């Protein structure tokens, strides 16, 4: 049988930060909320853009946000205008 090209073994505990919070079962409510906000951005930006939900999309960025994708780079509002033209 060939060797397992993608082994799934647990890394040693010494490779993890000592005080890291890794899931919603541990940590404070504030830490959980922070992780959920980060997740919203990671998942939401693509969904909002693809669904043309421009108000929701824009709400996730600071006014001076700079977007860099394979087809457009620039300030957030310029990126939204270009996305509307392409979409």
80's tokens: 């939204």
Tell me if residue 67 falls in helix, strand or coil. strand
Taking only the tens place, the pLDDT of each residue in 2-51 is 778 887 888 898 888 877 776 667 778 888 888 888 888 888 888 999 99
* Distance, CA of 13 to CA of 41 (rounded, Å): 30
Q: Which long-range contacts (CB under 8 A, 24 or more apart) does 18-27 make?
A: none
* pLDDT of 11: 86
* pLDDT of 40: 86
**Residues β-bridged to residue 75:** 66
The answer to which of 12-21, 47-56, 62-71 has the lowest mean pLDDT is 12-21
* Distance, CA of 36 to CA of 9 (rounded, Å): 28
pTM equals 0.60
Q: Which of 30, 6, 22, 87 is nearest to 54 (CA)?
A: 87
Q: Which of 76, 69, 73, 72 is nearest to 55 (CA)?
A: 76
């Amino acid at each position: 049988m060939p060797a397992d090209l993608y082994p799934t073994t647990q890394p040693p505990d010494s490779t993890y930060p000592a005080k890291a919070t890794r899931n919603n079962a541990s940590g404070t409510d504030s830490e959980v909320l922070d992780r959920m906000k980060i997740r919203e951005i990671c998942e939401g930006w693509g969904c909002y853009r693809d669904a043309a939900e421009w108000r929701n999309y824009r709400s996730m960025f600071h006014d001076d946000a700079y977007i860099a994708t394979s087809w457009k780079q620039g300030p957030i509002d310029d990126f939204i205008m270009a996305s509307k033209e392409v979409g």
